[in-house]
């Protein structure tokens, strides 16, 4: 009798292991990719040979990311809308910028975490990479409202910043707007958040429990990986409102790019980045899942199925880099004064 019981347990264990291995294969076959556990392999994905990541550039980029002096008013930093303590977003429906101005298109601030993996930046995908993207909000009137020349003047007027740029790039560095924003982008490239989902995809079958695996399988079977795929589970341009109209489409005037394509939001850390959708109109993740079923897949996702999918989505909450708020270099008498107008 003991032999029979033992054999049964072994068979059940083998069955569970096979099921997990099969689900990993299924996930990968549907385009899901894990963040590499090896830093060497990760750097191959995020580094740029033309502008390699160094600790000096990252530290300088962090200071610039948190420095409100790159905004016209001297009040708004990159971290204002992409708060690293709030999932890399701001937790409100429409971003608020210069002069307490709400985004004129009622656009929600996307997370900056894992943005290095996005194939396109901004909701309309108009920037191809982070260095280009960083230039937009700084200059945009409803956001930071700082002309490139003003940003250059302020940074070059601060001796400590000048010295740090020389340390990071060499004594002959030209500290222009492109170099400043590219340095911010270098810091952002390091904002990668591996989770237990990545452990699972990288071969640890026990990283997810049975309910989480069930949610992942349902996520795939329902067709969610049609858009939420790749290492970011998003970040690519996709058609929007494929099957039906998004019920809050009348909030704001955003319609996507010229072809009606919209950047798919990453699902990493999705539990931290409510409200959802480009105009931030849905606050409950279960409701967002059901709305996507209707709008994109043309199916009705039940409450129970939505709950199962959300159980999986919770596994995408990753480990954040340990980032302390930097002490910023002091302004000089020559630094351009804040301007709130």
201 and 179 belong to one structural domain:
no
Is 278 one of the annotated binding-site residues? no
Query: Do 37 and 62 belong together in one domain?
Result: no
The answer, yes or no, to whether residue 12 has pLDDT greater than 50, is no
Residue 211 is among the residues annotated as catalytic for this protein: no
Nearest-angstrom CA–CA distance, 100 and 118:
29
Tell me: do 183 and 299 sit in the same domain.
no
Examine residue 6 and state whether it is found in any structural domain, yes or no.
no
Is 13 within the bounds of a domain? no
Here the CATH number for the domain that contains residue 283 is: 1.10.760.10
Q: How far apart, in whole angstroms, are the C-alpha atoms of residue 114 and residue 189?
A: 7
Q: Please tell me whether residues 118 and 140 are part of one structural domain.
A: yes
Catalytic residue among 143, 152, 291, 308: 143
Least confident window among 121-130, 143-152, 302-311: 121-130
Question: Rounded to an integer, what distance in angstroms lies between the CA atom of residue 315 and that of residue 210?
Answer: 12
81 is an annotated ligand-binding site residue: yes
pLDDT at residue number 4: 45
Residue 169 has pLDDT above 70, yes or no: yes
Has residue 47 been placed in a domain?
yes
Task: Give yes or no for residue 2 having a pLDDT over 70.
Answer: no
What band does 8 get if pLDDT is binned at 50, 70 and 90?
Answer: very low
Answer whether 193's CB lies under 8 Å from 320's CB.
yes
Is 292 annotated in a binding site? The answer is yes
Residue-level pLDDT at 336: 97
Of 189, 219, 253, at which residue does a domain stop?
189
Give dist(CA 124, CA 216) in Å, integer: 28
Q: Is residue 324 one of the residues assigned to a domain?
A: no
Could you tell me how many helices (H) and strands (E) the chain has, helices first?
13, 4
Let me know if residue 127 belongs to a domain.
Answer: yes
pLDDT of 21 reads: 83
Residue 334 domain flag:
no
The pLDDT tens digits of the residues spanning 18-31 come to 467 899 999 999 99
The beta strand positions in the chain, using DSSP E, are 96-97, 101-102, 237-239, 261-263
| Axis crossing angle, helix 177-189 with helix 159-169, rounded to the nearest 10 | 70
Residues 181, 256: one domain? no
Task: Please tell me whether residues 65 and 101 are part of one structural domain.
Answer: yes
Residue 98 assigned ligand-binding role: yes
At 9, the pLDDT band (50, 70, 90 cuts) reads: very low
Q: At what angle do helices 159-169 and 55-66 cross, to 10 degrees?
A: 150
- Does one domain contain both 49 and 172? yes
Domain boundary among the residues 156, 189, 222 is at 189
Same-domain pairing of 245 and 255 = yes
- Its domain, for residue 240, covers 30-41+194-316
Residues 66 and 77 occupy one common structural domain: yes
Indicate whether 227 pLDDT > 90.
yes
Can you give the pLDDT at residue 19? 67
The answer to the question of residue 323 being in a domain is no
- Pair 165, 259 in one domain: no
Question: Is residue 224 included in any domain, yes or no?
Answer: yes
Q: Flag whether pLDDT at 6 surpasses 50.
A: no
Please tell me whether 10 is known to bind a ligand: no
For the chain, percent of residues with pLDDT exceeding 70? 94
Select from 315, 226, 310, 321 the least CA-distant residue to 276. Answer: 310
Q: Indicate the number of domains in the chain.
A: 2
Chain segment 244-270, per-residue pLDDT in tens: 999 999 999 999 999 999 999 999 999
Q: What is the pLDDT of residue 20?
A: 74
- Of 189, 219, 240, the position where a domain reaches its end is 189
Give the C-alpha separation, 28 to 39, whole Å.
21
- Residue-wise pLDDT for 298-340, tens only, equals 999 999 999 999 999 999 999 999 999 999 999 999 999 999 9
One domain for residues 274 and 252: yes
Q: Is the pLDDT of residue 17 over 90?
A: no
106 is an annotated ligand-binding site residue: no
**What residues have CB less than 8 Å from 153, skipping those under 6 apart?**
335, 336
Measured between alpha carbons, how far is 95 from 109 in angstroms, rounded to an integer? 6
Shared domain for 255 and 285, answered yes or no, is: yes
């Amino acid at each position: 009798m003991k032999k029979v019981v033992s054999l049964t347990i072994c068979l059940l264990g083998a069955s569970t292991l096979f099921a997990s291995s099969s689900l990993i294969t299924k996930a990968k076959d549907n385009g899901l990719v894990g963040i590499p556990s090896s830093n060497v392999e990760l750097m191959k994905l995020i580094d740029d040979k033309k502008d390699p990541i160094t600790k000096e550039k990252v530290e300088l980029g962090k200071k610039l990311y948190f420095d409100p002096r790159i905004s016209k008013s001297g009040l708004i930093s990159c971290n204002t809308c992409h708060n690293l303590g709030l999932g890399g977003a701001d937790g409100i429906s429409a971003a608020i910028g210069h002069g307490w101005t709400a985004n004129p298109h009622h656009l929600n601030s996307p997370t900056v975490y894992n943005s290095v993996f996005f194939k396109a930046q901004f909701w309309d995908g108009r920037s191809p990479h982070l260095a280009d993207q960083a230039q937009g909000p700084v200059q945009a009137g409803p956001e930071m409202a700082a002309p490139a020349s003003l940003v250059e003047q302020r940074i070059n007027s601060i001796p400590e910043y000048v010295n740090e740029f020389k340390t990071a790039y060499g004594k002959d560095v030209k500290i222009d707007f492109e170099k400043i924003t590219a340095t911010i982008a270098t810091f952002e490239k390091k904002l990668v958040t591996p989770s237990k989902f990545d452990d699972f995809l990288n071969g640890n079958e026990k990283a997810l429990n049975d309910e989480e695996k069930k949610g992942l399988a349902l996520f795939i079977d329902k067709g969610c990986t049609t858009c939420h795929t790749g290492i970011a589970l998003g970040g690519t341009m996709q058609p929007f409102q494929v099957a039906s109209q998004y019920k809050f489409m009348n909030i704001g005037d955003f319609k996507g790019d010229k072809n009606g394509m919209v950047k798919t939001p990453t699902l990493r850390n999705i539990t931290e980045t409510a409200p959802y959708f480009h105009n931030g109109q849905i606050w409950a993740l279960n409701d967002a899942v059901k709305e996507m079923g209707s709008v994109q897949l043309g199916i009705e996702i039940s409450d129970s199925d939505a709950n199962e999918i959300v159980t999986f989505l919770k596994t995408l909450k990753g480990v954040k880099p340990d980032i302390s708020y930097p002490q910023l270099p002091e302004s000089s008498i020559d630094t351009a004064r804040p301007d709130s107008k």
